[in-house]
A = this chain, B = another copy of it.
Amino acid sequence: MTDSPKNDVSVAADEKKIPKAVIKRLSLYSRMLQELEHKNITKISSKELSDLLGMNPAKVRKDLAYFGQFGVPGLGYYVSELKAQIKRILRTDREIRVALIGVGHLGQALLAYGGFLRQSFRVVAAFDTSPDKIGRTFNGVKVMSTEHLEDQIRTLGADIVVLAIPAENAQATVDQVVRAGIRAILNFVPARIVCPEAIKVHYVDLGIELESLSYYLKD
């Protein structure tokens, strides 16, 4: 009988594990700080920031404490400095290359979405199967055929793929972009997709959100 791998020093011993929830909130902070900066507000306390976002001040401080000490006791945080730090942490201080697959209503909504282009995201390509769309330009992005998807994704060096296609084609498409060396997938398709562990996948499911709201309608 072998021992259970209790004493394994796994992956990185000193690099403390960052909860996923923290990363989500960091994006939220980043956006709010952007707004504050725009309003020429130069400093803010964890209390003020948490009030703006409807959360707990201790949570804000603890989230930030995972990455360093960015505040000044008695004063709070300097808005632009904190924003810069968070962008560095999230890696949105550099260009992130995004490929959009599926230029239907949702795909077009994403292309039009300000926050999508804001920040560092650059939509380097959009793909669709429909001859009506191929060759057309949406928000400055020209739509290409999915015929040579794998090669094109590779050539363009996309980091993230945004998937907004029908469920039937999802897995086959995922297989192609995985071979093309993509690093992360934002999946709007209401179907489970399988891909290697190393690739981070986020699901956004519009239907599930609505359906679970229905539960709370009880009176």
The reply to whether A24 and B212 contact each other, CB–CB distance below 8 Å, is yes
Does residue A58 face the partner (Cβ distance < 8 Å to B)? Answer: no
Does residue A92 face the partner (Cβ distance < 8 Å to B)? Answer: yes
Taken residue by residue from 12 to 42, chain A's Cβ proximity to chain B (1 for < 8 Å, 0 otherwise) reads as 0000000000011011101100000000000
Number of interface residues of A (CB under 8 A): 55
State the CA gap A89–B214 with chains docked (Å).
Answer: 10
Q: Which of B113, B116, B209, B214 contacts A96 (CB 8 A)?
A: B214
Taken residue by residue from 183 to 219, chain A's Cβ proximity to chain B (1 for < 8 Å, 0 otherwise) reads as 1101000101010000010101011111111111110
State the CA gap A121–B109 with chains docked (Å).
Answer: 22
Does residue A90 face the partner (Cβ distance < 8 Å to B)? Answer: yes
Which residue of chain B has the shortest Cβ distance to A30 in the bound complex? B211
